[in-house]
């Protein structure tokens, strides 16, 4: 919560800026008539305002037209960079989509990734007559 002095200072600032309502202006004028500390604060604020207005301003080192041109050039460069990044992102997306499509097409052509269901042939084991001739066992003495 603001104290009474802070409230007075805020109303004084509004009064000096010509932003106070009629009721606030009456309050400040009453305080100026009745309170010596408030009058001192008012005098200090008025003197500070005058000193701030009298401060020298440094001369502009660049003409306004040149400054505006620099700002517009900077904006154009940023816009061009955004376009380049956008085109790069678009190209990267296109490459990713093409890669995904090609991987799906290749997967369909590969037998190991084929989606068709193959029924396995039964495994036949030839015990009596092997398909591949087996070497004869070494004879032992």
Q: Render pLDDT for 82-106 as a digit per residue (tens, 0 to 9).
A: 888 888 899 999 999 998 888 877 7
- Could you tell me if residue 79 is inside a domain? yes
- Could you tell me if residue 15 is inside a domain? yes
Q: Residue 11, CB half-sphere, CA atoms under 13 Å: how many?
A: 20
Assess whether pLDDT exceeds 50 at residue 1: no
Assess whether pLDDT exceeds 80 at residue 49: yes
**Structural domain tally of the chain?**
2
> Cα separation of 119 and 121, whole Å?
6
Assess whether pLDDT exceeds 60 at residue 139: no
Range of the domain at 103: 60-110
- Could you tell me if residue 105 is inside a domain? yes
Distances (CA, A) of 16 to 13, 30, 35, 52, 98: 5, 15, 17, 14, 69
11/27 same-domain check: yes
Q: Does the model's pTM come out above 0.75? A: no
- Could you tell me if residue 85 is inside a domain? yes
pLDDT recorded at residue 110: 61
Q: Across residues 6-23, what is the average pLDDT?
A: 90
30/68 same-domain check: no
pLDDT recorded at residue 118: 62
Angle between helices 36-54 and 22-34 (to 10 degrees): 110
> Cα separation of 3 and 10, whole Å?
11
Assess whether pLDDT exceeds 60 at residue 15: yes
Alpha helices by DSSP H, listed for 1-141, are 4-16, 22-34, 36-54, 64-109
């Amino acid at each position: 919560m603001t104290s009474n002095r802070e409230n007075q200072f805020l109303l004084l600032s509004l009064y000096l800026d010509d932003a106070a309502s009629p009721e606030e202006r009456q309050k400040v004028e009453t305080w100026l008539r009745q309170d010596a500390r408030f009058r001192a604060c008012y005098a200090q604020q008025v003197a500070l305002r005058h000193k701030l207005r009298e401060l020298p301003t440094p001369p502009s080192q660049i003409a306004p037209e040149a400054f505006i041109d620099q700002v517009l050039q900077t904006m154009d460069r940023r816009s061009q960079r955004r376009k380049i990044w956008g085109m790069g992102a678009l190209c990267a997306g296109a490459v990713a989509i093409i890669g995904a499509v090609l991987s799906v097409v290749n997967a369909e052509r590969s037998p190991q990734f084929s989606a068709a269901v193959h029924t396995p042939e039964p495994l036949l084991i030839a015990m009596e007559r092997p398909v591949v001739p087996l070497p004869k066992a070494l004879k032992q003495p």
